[in-house]
Amino acid sequence: MRFLLFFILLVSFQVSHADFWSGSSRNFLRTQLGNKVAISCHNCYAIDNKVLSLEETLSYIHSGQAAGADLIEIDMVAHNNSWVVRHDGIPKGSSETEDPEYLGPDFELVFQDSAFRNGSQVPFIELKSKLGPNVGDHYANLLIGTLNDLGYLESGKIVVIRSFHLDTLKEIKTALSGLTAQKQSRVKLSRAYRTNFEPDVELCENSEACGKLEAWQKDIARVKSNGYEMVELNFQTKNIASLIEYAKSLGLAVNLWTIRDYSEVFAAIFRESVDALTIDQNKGQWERSRETNIRIARSVISDPTNILHLNMAGQNYTNSNYLNYVDQTASRQIYRFSNGHPSWEWLGAIGEDRFGGSLIFDKNNAHFVRLHDGDNNSGEGFLVHAVVNFDSFSGSPTQAIVSKADTGGFALELSGGYLRFGVHVNGAYHYVKYPQQNFNGTDTYQIVGVYDGSGGVRMWVDGKEVGTPPVVDGEVTKNNSPIVIGADPQGWSNQRFFFSGKIQQVNVQRWGHH
């Protein structure tokens, strides 16, 4: 038996977050650890990107407000010296250019609506058109002037104007210069990115020597230097943790789009990391309306389900410092020892699969971090989330990433050629599996395992569900073993199944049906 001396200090701890939403009088939800997160109603003016009448458009906006959405997303296209509310551009020569029924409502009529104007929700405006220097100033001035005239820039209100086009944001920023400093501060500009982002050549001195992730982060730095305040990423983006942490290091807010299936799962894993989540309806094997998804995501944001929250990205974990993590009541600090505990890595340069700190585990040196005993609620299960880079897929038959599996609990691990997540229910472990050949040692992966006490044991990798979920019914068996990162617990003081790789985040939550 290995005896380890370690100290656990209970201290007052508050996670620090920049408040992107501070200019708004809306009462945004806060997470258990203090982060303020807004829920955006995706394409809140329509359904399935259809072009609708003014009355239909307002009906959908009012439904989003009633569902509790904090942000009302409205897409707009520049047309015929005004803006129309619609998702897609208008092809030149199309009959739509002449028929108002197919154009979509004029933006001013939408923003004149009293329920929208008097609501506390934040207009989350996406400009679909790329504005150039010749006519862009007209459209930018029209938009800013109308928002100002209709009272959207008064005290207690903010507006977020967003675009995939930097030229469009530049025109809007120029138009803002005609306002007072106070009113300028109430308009926040956001740069949206597509999943298949292609960097500008000028971002790299040698385009062949500049990787996509490095160029992407250089573009994020340009967003900051241009005076914009938010970036927006598809939640299934590869190596998304690196992009999020880099943006946060610059003081930028982050929105993730567009979450449809299992909005509760992604609200739970990202709620401490981002400032907004964009939610829509899902159309998978079971349908759930946009409004229902919004309500469920909001309920998860403030739900006190946290058992363990560890994020090493901003931590300096050295021989003389402590590793900080948060349970449901306080922060605990564990002293780092020379034997048994992992080493620490800091990646401060852009272009890496992670940004900031990570723990480095080596199975050959039996590294692990032993934390506390945290159980699920009666009749329920667990949500387990880890941000992981793999160093080894061979050697011992099992490598535990994070585990409480000791005749009970859960396990997220590599075993028998698979990544698998399992829970102990009704006397046995039940696993969902995904072949490890789908992973490499270069990228970092967002891995989530979920079981709510009745139904499927499910797993997601980078936002996409993987494996075939076994159907189980019953609560996860409780035990008295600790949660261990990088190994599998054997009682309170022994470990096995050591892991080789880097771990930046681990989140464990009590999880029930939503």
Q: Taking 90 as the threshold, does the pLDDT of residue 187 lie above it?
A: yes
pTM recorded for the entire structure: 0.94
Q: Which CATH superfamily is domain 29-303 in?
A: Phosphatidylinositol (PI) phosphodiesterase (3.20.20.190)
Q: Decide yes or no: CATH 2.60.120.200 for domain 308-511.
A: yes
Q: Answer for the pair 456, 448: CB distance below 8 angstroms, yes or no.
A: no
- Residue range 328-383, pLDDT digits in tens: 776 677 766 667 889 899 999 999 999 999 999 999 999 999 999 999 999 999 99
Give residue 335's pLDDT: 64
Which whole-number Å values give the CA distances from 157 to 23, 147, 181, in the listed order? 6, 11, 14
Could you state, in order of their start, the residue ranges of all structural domains in the chain?
A: 29-303, 308-511
- Residue range 19-28, pLDDT digits in tens: 899 999 999 9
**Mean pLDDT, rounded, for 281-294:** 87
Backbone angles phi, psi at 421, to 5 degrees: -125, 130
d(CA 297, CA 229): 24
d(CA 305, CA 329): 11
Nearest to 108 by CA among 77, 143, 73: 143
Look up residue 311 and give its two tokens: 């994020």
Q: Taking 80 as the threshold, does the pLDDT of residue 148 lie above it?
A: yes
Place of tokens 């299960």: 381
Look up residue 403 and give its two tokens: 């585990």
Q: Taking 50 as the threshold, does the pLDDT of residue 441 lie above it?
A: yes
Q: Answer for the pair 224, 269: CB distance below 8 angstroms, yes or no.
A: no
- Residue range 222-275, pLDDT digits in tens: 999 999 999 999 999 999 999 999 999 999 999 999 999 999 999 999 999 999
Q: Taking 60 as the threshold, does the pLDDT of residue 11 lie above it?
A: no
CA distance from start to end of the chain:
42
Q: What is the mean pLDDT of the chain?
A: 91
Handedness of CA 479, 485, 490, 496 (dihedral sign): positive
Q: Answer for the pair 370, 310: CB distance below 8 angstroms, yes or no.
A: no
Question: How many CB atoms lie under 10 A from the CB of residue 316?
Answer: 12
**Mean pLDDT, rounded, for 70-81:** 96
- Residue range 216-234, pLDDT digits in tens: 999 999 999 999 999 999 9
Evaluate whether 29-303 and 308-511 have a shared fold: no
Percent of the residues in the chain that have a pLDDT greater than 90, as a whole number: 79
